[in-house]
Amino acid sequence: MMNHHFSRRSFIKKSVIAGGAVTLAHSGIGNILMAKPNERVNLAAVGIGNRAAEILLEFHKTGLCNIVALCDTDMGAKHTQAILEKFPEVPRFQDFRVMFDKMGSQIDAVSVGVPDFSHFPITMMALDLGKHVYVEKPMARTFQEVELMMAKAKKNPKLATQMGNQGHSEANYFQFKAWKDAGIIKDVTQIVGHMNMPRRWHGWDVNMKNFPTAEPIPSTLDWDLWQMQTLGHNYNKDFINGQWRCWFDFGMGALGDWGAHILDTAHEFLDLGLPSEVSAIKLDGHNSFFFPMSSTLKFSFPKRKRMPALDIMWYDGLDNLPPIPNGYGVSGLDPNIPPPSTGKMEPAKLNPGKIIYSKDLTFKGGSHGSTLSIIPEEKAQDMASKLPEVAKSPSNHFANFLKACMGQEKTRSPFEIAGPLSQVFCLGVIAQRLNTTFKFDREKKEIVNDKFANALLMGPPPKKGWEQYYIV
């Protein structure tokens, strides 16, 4: 493959010498020629608006990549303008399949910043074509799709994969690892995750009997393509631009959105894997279409090696706060926690984060890169001299991915680590959707006592023409 890459490069150089430079400059390949091989990663972006735009700018800022292709199902919509203006020379595509077809040999890696349900086909195709993949969190919407993405990555071990829970390259990651290795975090029996800020569906009618009525499709949007492998929905503005997060058919609610930023380090360093039981303890405003107004979920994990059995409790919803331990202190907003994607940062009664209960110590922590502290304060002072030194992060999440593409680092949130974490959220969403409790066989990876829940591990069959992405 590399020979092909270099022969293409020499062909381009010859064509520049032969007077093709003008057209090349306008085709967006011009800037690539200036970089030596392996000096920069040629990155294509699928999804260029909203959060995807922020991701792309973060990649660009590292100085480690060339942006070589831009792709969006709504190319030309208002939210894509900033990126199109910043990279005016870069080739544009509406369909990721056309992009790969036309530019495959010039792309080393792909950034996938699209709705949860559509991560899957783009990622599977990219890995098949030998491209490194950075995909937003959570990895996919169904348990089975995450499973296939992990299998595909395992089949292509030379390709770097990274899920976009960016805090997994920040202070919290290195602190949790150091404290776990030093025996400060040990014998954990309960973790409480909480996200009590307003969500996009708060204020919707929970007695809804149908999906919202069809509206005219914007002229810039390929609505059929936007739906990817999912089955027919009529266009409505409440399905796109982040609103997809609200619906069981498209998104993962507060748990999928914030769980990967709150529970990621505990999941990895406490070796949690998959739960043996998942329960919807309390759902307010449960309905068939969109996420409840508030949810209390429980995930039970069995004993692992020398670690005791552990429960994760999850609380979301405005007033659905977890029990707050004595000595918790103030809930000040940590600058490491970005605002929710609604852009509204109303003062929350409790900021997104976690409380970790172990045999001897209690820890409180925020979300993303926020570090843990021991509570109450007196206990923290007792422990101060016993705390290990914590390494600094050598690279942020974006640079870490690009350096992994170049063979210089390993990604910190590869599919083998991010996959089981994402599957925990897939299982939680099934419990929310059915308002139920079920047992899960961790070896066979199936729900053993509820056939409806078990069927949701796979979800509905893909739309005709999308079946090929389900083959590993």
216 and 204 assigned to the same domain: yes
Residue 20 lies in a domain: no
Domain identity same for 196 and 307: yes
Same-domain check for residues 184 and 90:
no
pTM of the model: 0.90
Tokens of 286: 């449960």
Q: List the single range of 64-73, 230-239, 322-331, 455-464 with lowest mean pLDDT.
A: 322-331
Domain assignment present for 280? yes
**Mean local confidence (pLDDT), 400-418:** 98
pLDDT of 20 reads 36
Structural domain count of the chain = 2
Mean pLDDT of the chain: 91
| Among candidate residues 112, 147, 166, the one where a domain is terminated | 166
φ, ψ of residue 145 to 5 degrees: the values are -65, -40
Report yes or no on 11 lying in a domain.
Answer: no
pLDDT digits (tens, 9 = 90+) for 258-295: 999 999 999 999 999 999 999 999 999 999 999 999 99
Phi then psi for 358, rounded to 5 degrees? -120, 180
Residues 311 and 388 in one domain: yes
The pLDDT value recorded for residue 233 is 97
Least confident of 264-273, 291-300, 344-353: 344-353
**CATH of residue 137:** 3.40.50.720
What digits encode the pLDDT tens for the residues 71-124? 999 998 999 999 999 999 999 999 999 999 999 999 999 999 999 999 999 999
- CA angle centred on 222, ends 221 and 226, rounded to 5°: 100
Do both 426 and 440 map to the same domain? yes
Q: Which residues constitute the domain of residue 74? A: 34-166
Please tell me the predicted confidence (pLDDT) of residue 368: 95
pLDDT digit string, tens, across residues 158-208:
999 999 999 999 999 999 999 999 999 999 999 999 999 999 999 999 999
pLDDT in tens, 25-72: 344 444 444 444 558 999 999 999 999 999 999 999 999 999 999 999
CB 436 within 8 A of CB 450: yes
Does residue 239 contact residue 146 with C-beta atoms inside 8 Å? no
Q: Which of 101, 135, 166 is the last residue of a domain?
A: 166
What is the SS3 assignment for 189?
A: strand
Q: Please spell the DSSP secondary structure of 247-306, one letter per residue.
A: BTTT--HHHHHHHHHHSHHHHHHTT--S-SEEEEEEEES--SSB--SEEEEEEEE--BTT
Q: Is the pLDDT of residue 134 over 70?
A: yes
Residue 2 has pLDDT above 60, yes or no: no
Domain contains 268: yes
Residue, of 361 and 5, whose pLDDT is higher: 361
For 183, residues 6+ apart whose C-beta sits below 8 A from its C-beta are none
What's the confidence (pLDDT) of residue 348? 64
Same domain, 249 and 118: no
Same-domain pairing of 152 and 130: yes
pLDDT higher than threshold 70 for residue 334? no
Task: Indicate whether 462 belongs to any domain.
Answer: yes
Task: Say what the pLDDT of residue 330 is.
Answer: 77
- 114 and 235 belong to one structural domain: no
Query: Domain check: are 161 and 223 in the same one?
Result: no
The model's pLDDT over 304-320, given as tens digits with 9 standing for 90+, comes to 999 999 999 999 999 99
* Nearest alpha-carbon partner for 159 in 168, 167, 150: 150
Query: CB neighbours of 116 closer than 8 A, spacing ≥ 6?
Result: 136, 138, 140, 141, 244, 245, 250, 251, 252, 256
pLDDT average, residue stretch 13-32: 39
Let me know how long the chain is. 472
Whether residue 221 is contained in a domain is answered as yes
Of 166, 199, 222, which marks where a domain is finished?
166
Q: Report yes or no: 220 and 341 within 8 Å, Cβ to Cβ.
A: no
In a domain, 427, yes or no: yes
E strand or H helix that includes residue 93: strand 92-93
pLDDT at 366: 94
pLDDT recorded at residue 29: 42
What is the CATH classification number for the domain harbouring 173? Answer: 3.30.360.10
What value does the mean pLDDT take over residues 413-428?
98
The answer on pLDDT for 16 being more than 50 is: no
For residues 260 and 391, state if they share a domain: yes
Whether residue 242 is found in the same domain as residue 127: no
pLDDT band at 453 (very low <50, low <70, confident <90, very high): very high
The verdict on 383 and 324 lying in the same domain is: yes
Please report whether residue 251 resides in a domain. Answer: yes
